[in-house]
Structure formats: structure tokens, C-alpha cells
Homo-oligomer: A and B are copies of this chain.
Amino acid sequence: PPGMENVQQLSNDMQKKSFEVINCVCLCLCEPDRVLVRVQDLTPENADQLIWLRARVHTSRAKGKQCFLVLRQQQFNVQALVAVGDRASKQMVKFAANITKESIVDVEALVRKVEQKIESCSQQDVELHIERIFVISQAEPRLPLQLEDAVRPDGEGEEEGRATVNQDTKLDNRVIDLRTTTSQAIFRLQSGVCQLFRETLTKKGFVEIQTPKIISAASEGGANVFTVSYFKTSAYLAQSPQLYKQMCICADFDKVFCVGPVFRAEDSNTHRHLTEFVGLDIEMAFSYHYHEVIDSITDTMVQIFKGLFQTEIQTVNKQYPSEPFKFLEPTLRLEYTEALAMLHEAGVEMGDEDDLSTPNEKLLGRLVKEKYDTDFYVLDKYPLAVRPFYTMPDPNNPKYSNSYDMFMRGEEILSGAQRVHDAQMLTDRAIHHQIDLEKIKAYIDSFRYGAPPHGGGGIGLERVCMLYLGLHNVRQTSMFPRDPKRLTP
């Protein structure tokens, strides 16, 4: 068939790189019935079948009249062989040996059961005997990083002089770094977190909403907000969807969630801060007590913890070993005063209405783990002074508030509260916080026409993934992270 001849001819001439090479695939209409097999489906049941496969050249090693390839699809790989004989010429072996690593090839091959398990491949019981091979997309010969280096655990093979890849090199070449088994597992897991979050909430009767990211006024007082040129005026990027979630509650949606980007212009280059991250946000009306909100959120988190794929977790653990993540059912809820008592007992000096510093949060996480054996807990009833103006004060003690944070492995992943749902009280609280009332008029007005008591919270997706997996940098769980120093790729 004309299309395929074209491809064959071209793949035998690696020098020629032209429009036709690029389009070879769309010319192959002559083979509409050809089925491409997936590497992960290759088992001894396929033995002696002639199959077609498209995959990357993971490694290639020529040895006399043979060339051994490892062909990879995502986290799966299989050994393949081109050997001089009936079906392959000397020239073809040479051609195969010259294919650059990470190139994409189509092969026609016979599946063979092997005597001895191939320990280095995911498909251990079979190998492929290649009869035809075409280059679909050729990789440049010099890769900016080697996949085997990028997945090597820190310290492993140091004595043999084996390299690991530093984080900036990985992020600069994210398209290659994302091909590693570790990255594939992390981001499939992240996709799973979003899916479980939405499914759990949808079952509970929540409605998904879409909130605007370009807003006319800095929602939380003006600090740490990015400014956007908006035609002849200026606007801001939303630091959270919270005000809009609340408007939806005032608009009778009852229980809502949203998943979307959140922007923070914080000039801090820590392991856990990004200037843009994905917020998993919840807001709901409650009947009698804001603990109904806490229960909905903690149950959602528990469903996520329980639902995540174990194989992906194990894959990540191979490179980044960590203790299994522990949680209790029902989730542990501590009051702020109890936490302070634990910290005081451990020798920390801090006042009743002081906020927790990051080191104290971590210390508290360790103390809680020792005492209760959980990596996930809720800290309830924060001092009113350290929370935003829209936080509902504790009716029993005006020093405290109906607000809470949630922690995983001693780091904050969620901040939430019962919100003030009365326009007059909200106005008073805004004045107390010296917020320009004119700028939050639309927000305050939302509560003038009847608003149910409600609360909610916002979860940072990247932090949840990082802490669940026991990783140490939030850039590992953001595909294309943004921080004060990084805007590309």
C-alpha cells in the first residue's frame, strides 16, 4: 500500500527528515484495521502471535548480530530483540541500534514466552522478536536528563558514581521528567484525588460551581494579590473562590464545591508555597452546628485516602520511601486550647491567642501522632484574632472562633470556618479589620436578603498529594509549578 511503502522507505533513511516523515501516520489510512497492542496487555497468552505496537525506545543495546531494545509505554515496558536471520537483515539490526533513546517506534513483532523472568521489565514473561520497525518520531540524540537518573532514589548508587537529577533540571525539562514511573504515578494519583473529591461530594448532594478568577477587588484585604490590566482599568486574581462560594449558598445552592486555580502573590520560596495552585473548595449550609461542615469535609478526605490506588503509591515509594499514611475514623478533632496544652507540656512558650508557627505545627503533628497514631486531624476553635474578618466568633467565648484547620503529617492542608452570615455583623467585623467597605460591598450585600448559617473550607490539591505520599516539596506534585522564580515551562 502506498502509504506504508512511504513510511518504510523513510524509516530506512534516518537522515531524511521532512514533511512526509511527520505526516507518515496520517498517510497510513491504508491500514485502518491494524490494531496496536498495549504493552501492559502483553502476557504469555499472546505467545506466538504477530502483533503491532507503538512505544518509546527506553534503552537500546547492540551486541554482535543482535540489538536488544526495551520498549516503554508510560509505566510499562517490555524487552524486544532484532536479530540477523530470516526476518531481519544486518542493515535492519544496524538501523535499530541507531534509533535514539525516547524515539517513538512502530514495530511488528512475534511475542515469545521466555524461560527466565525478565526482572528489569514490567512484562516479565514475554519478549518481542521484531520483524519490522518504523520510526514515528525521532528524539534528539542528547537528552537533557536520563530517565533512569531521574527516578533513582537519593543516595543510591553514589559509590558507582551514578547521578541523580536535581529538582530545577527536572522542572526545566518537565516533558521528559513527567515520563518517569514516579511522575506518571504522582499525577495519576492527583487525578484520582480530584475524582474522589467530586464523586464523594456529588453523592452527598453537592453541586459543582464555576467561580470567576478575575475579580474587581482584592478579596482578603489586598495583601499578596496579583494585579491584572483589564482594558482601561485594573483587576485582581482571586486568592480563593470563597466569596463566590458563599454567594452561591445565599443563592440557595445549599451545598457547593469547586475545583480551580487559586493565586497568591507571596514572595516566599518554601517547600510548600506556590503562587498558583489548585484549590478544592467546599461550602455548605448547615442545620444546627458548624461541626456538620467539619464532618462532611473529614468524611470526604477519608474517602479520598481510602480510594487512592495502592500501586501508584508503591511506585512513588520506590523512589521516595515514606511511612504509610495513617488516619482514624471518625477523624480526630482537637480544640486549639488542647493543642496549646500539648505544646506547653512539650516546652513551647506561646500565648493563648497567638497563631501557630510552622515549626510548632510540625511539632504538634509529631505529638498528635505519638498520642493518637494519626497523620490526619482537625484543629478546631482558633483564636478569633488570627482569622479573617468573615469568620464567625465563638458565641460562648469571644476570644475564639468557629474556625478550624486540617493537617496531614503536621502540615496544614485546609483552612475553614463558619462564616458570618449577617450583613450588619459582617460590616462590623470588616470595620474592625480596617477593610475598605466600598471594596466588599457586593459581598456584604449578598447577605442582606436572607442567608442561611453556613461554613466551608479550601484544600490545596498539591499539598494533599505531597503529604499523602510523604514527599518533601510541593513542586513534585504540581505539573508545571509557579513560584516567585519560576514561570516556565
Residues in B with CB closer than 8 Å to A450 are 56, 102-104, 137-139
A479 and B211 within 8 A (CB): yes
Contact (A252, B178) CB under 8 Å given A190-B210, A420-B22: yes
**In whole angstroms, how far apart are the Cα atoms of A11 and B465 in the complex?**
47
**In whole angstroms, how far apart are the Cα atoms of A188 and B32 in the complex?**
41
Let me know if A239 is at the binding interface, CB within 8 A.
Answer: no
Q: Nearest B residue to A21 by beta-carbon distance?
A: B422
Let me know if A442 is at the binding interface, CB within 8 A.
Answer: yes
* Of B177, B216, B247, the contact of A175 (CB 8 Å cutoff): B247
Residues in B with CB closer than 8 Å to A209 are 187, 191, 479
Let me know if A395 is at the binding interface, CB within 8 A.
Answer: yes
Residues in B with CB closer than 8 Å to A208 are 191, 194-195
**In whole angstroms, how far apart are the Cα atoms of A233 and B217 in the complex?**
22
Contact (A22, B178) CB under 8 Å given A27-B395, A450-B102: no
Contact (A175, B287) CB under 8 Å given A215-B487, A449-B102: no
Chain B nearest CB: distance from A396 CB in Å? 9
A187 and B211 within 8 A (CB): no
Residues in B with CB closer than 8 Å to A288 are 25-26, 28-29, 31-32, 34
A-to-B contact residues, CB < 8 Å:
17, 19-23, 25-29, 31-32, 34, 36, 54, 56, 73-74, 102-104, 136-140, 143, 174-179, 183-184, 187-188, 190-191, 194-195, 198, 202, 207-216, 226-231, 233, 235, 237, 244, 247-248, 250-254, 259-261, 263, 265, 267, 275-276, 278, 286-290, 392-393, 395, 402, 418, 420-422, 424-425, 442-443, 445-446, 448-453, 461, 478-480, 482, 484, 487-489
B252 and A73 within 8 A (CB): yes
A and B contact pairs by CB, cutoff 8 A, 17 listed: A17-B422, A20-B395, A21-B422, A23-B392, A26-B289, A26-B392, A56-B450, A104-B451, A137-B451, A174-B247, A175-B446, A178-B252, A184-B252, A191-B208, A213-B213, A226-B228, A227-B228
A452 and B54 within 8 A (CB): yes
**In whole angstroms, how far apart are the Cα atoms of A209 and B186 in the complex?**
11
Chain A at the B interface: mostly helix, strand, loop or mixed? Answer: mixed
Q: Nearest B residue to A267 by beta-carbon distance?
A: B231
Q: Nearest B residue to A206 by beta-carbon distance?
A: B191
Residues in B with CB closer than 8 Å to A392 are 23, 26
A449 and B140 within 8 A (CB): yes
Residues in B with CB closer than 8 Å to A244 are 479-480
Minimum-distance CB pairs A-B, first 5? A178-B251, A442-B489, A216-B487, A139-B450, A23-B395
B176 and A251 within 8 A (CB): yes
**In whole angstroms, how far apart are the Cα atoms of A150 and B18 in the complex?**
61
Q: Nearest B residue to A23 by beta-carbon distance?
A: B395
* Of B29, B143, B253, B290, the contact of A289 (CB 8 Å cutoff): B29
Residues in B with CB closer than 8 Å to A478 are 210
A421 and B22 within 8 A (CB): yes
Chain B nearest CB: distance from A172 CB in Å? 9
Residues in B with CB closer than 8 Å to A445 are 175
